[in-house]
Structure 1
């Protein structure tokens, strides 16, 4: 029997169908501060499995509200427990799936690579350091990085003097961009954000006891319906992902 080119192609296509049918899409809503690390974790997962991972990055507050309002997502990773709490209260977290994934550190960054270090503690006068300039922060009443930053400044007795100088951004990466572009000389961001941009330098680290612990809870959502969703969620706490997160400066909590 002679096998024509058309027959061979048809056979190859029919063999490929089951594999293609197994590929699934995983939709992840994640805190903006995770972008560099999570993009790398997702790329590794896609290469190894053939599944597609689609990630939406924003402030955890905005993502939580979108999920509660019905946005289709399979996994949520928040930069604060309170916004995961809201999603869980809405009945949208898959039972037993929630866990604390990562931790982070809060830092003061300055524009450029050669800024002078600042001692953040007793005698720290941020308002004097700013002068007539602005301090970039994420939204202080809703975005976790902004909430942590405000709490730290209140603890240090600096908030009242600094508040009129705060330039608020929609998320922590937007606040970082203000400093990187020189639109604000200083900003409060996570250590992992500072490490992701060569146009800023860390000039000080806020004491851990000056703000609530920075915790990133992760959870499968009730809309997660296939094996790919569960596989990527499990991969987030695997050795390969831990190595990526640690290299980016996150603390591994799982």
Structure 2
């Protein structure tokens, strides 16, 4: 009788602890991602499933943190160059690397602005800026959105006239915020940023031929590889995530709409 009661008691304890163990077994995955992905990734993470810690910033800053040993497990960059650097350093799982998303570059203004611009070679953006205004951009020497923006302005033949009139921010969402707050009359951001911010409007879209293709590569960080990371990575490539990315204006490197 005593043995039967003991068995029942131990069984009850085991069953009671099972949910706790299941919760403990759910590893939190740390994702370092380009700032332009924030709205979409926040929504994907909120769907449940694998617990996720999302860290956003300029791709260059995030890549440098990974080089310095930051505990990232999955990295999504806004250009291929920084992913190439990490791959050359052996800091990502090479076989996991994919081109996940694409984007477009746009010129934005505050939503109540009446500015009109046609992005043709030699266009005079200084007139749209006025005597004191600046054009908001991400850092043009290191952050992908800024690099793409500088390339586009250079291709139009107007970078030299604007170089001293830029307001450069640490990442593209910070540049977007300058326009949203009315601190600058114009800004260069991704099309997806404009979708996410109702306080700005798109004035013009840069032709894709004016800059390198805007591609978001993603890969597992070598020191952070785990089944949980791979499960979340698969989630990002699934149909539900695809719909969220598309709603935010992203394109798909694999040819999807």
SS at match of 2:176: helix
- 1:191-227 alpha-carbon deviations (Å, 9 max, x no partner): 0001111111100001110111100000011122321
Equivalence for 2:142: 142
Equivalence for 2:27: 24
Matches within 5 A, 1:201-220: 201-220=201-220
Equivalence for 1:178: 178
Distance 1:125 1:195 in 2: 26
TM-score by length of 2: 0.91
Matches within 5 A, 1:59-138: 59-132=58-131, 133-138=133-138
Asked whether the equivalents of residues 115 and 203 of structure 1 are also in contact (C-alpha less than 8 Å), the reply is: no
Displacement of 1:115:
3.2
TM-score by length of 1: 0.92
Asked whether the equivalents of residues 122 and 157 of structure 2 are also in contact (C-alpha less than 8 Å), the reply is: no
Runs of 5+ unmatched residues, structure 2: none
In structure 2, which of residues 42, 52, 72 is the aligned counterpart of residue 39 of structure 1?
42
SS at match of 1:96: helix
Asked whether the equivalents of residues 115 and 128 of structure 2 are also in contact (C-alpha less than 8 Å), the reply is: no
Distance 1:220 1:7 in 2: 41
Displacement of 1:12:
4.6
- 1:210-253 alpha-carbon deviations (Å, 9 max, x no partner): 11110000001112232110001111111111110000000011
Mark the CA change 1:113 to 1:247 in structure 2 (over 3 Å): closer, same or farther.
farther
Distance 1:138 1:226 in 2: 33
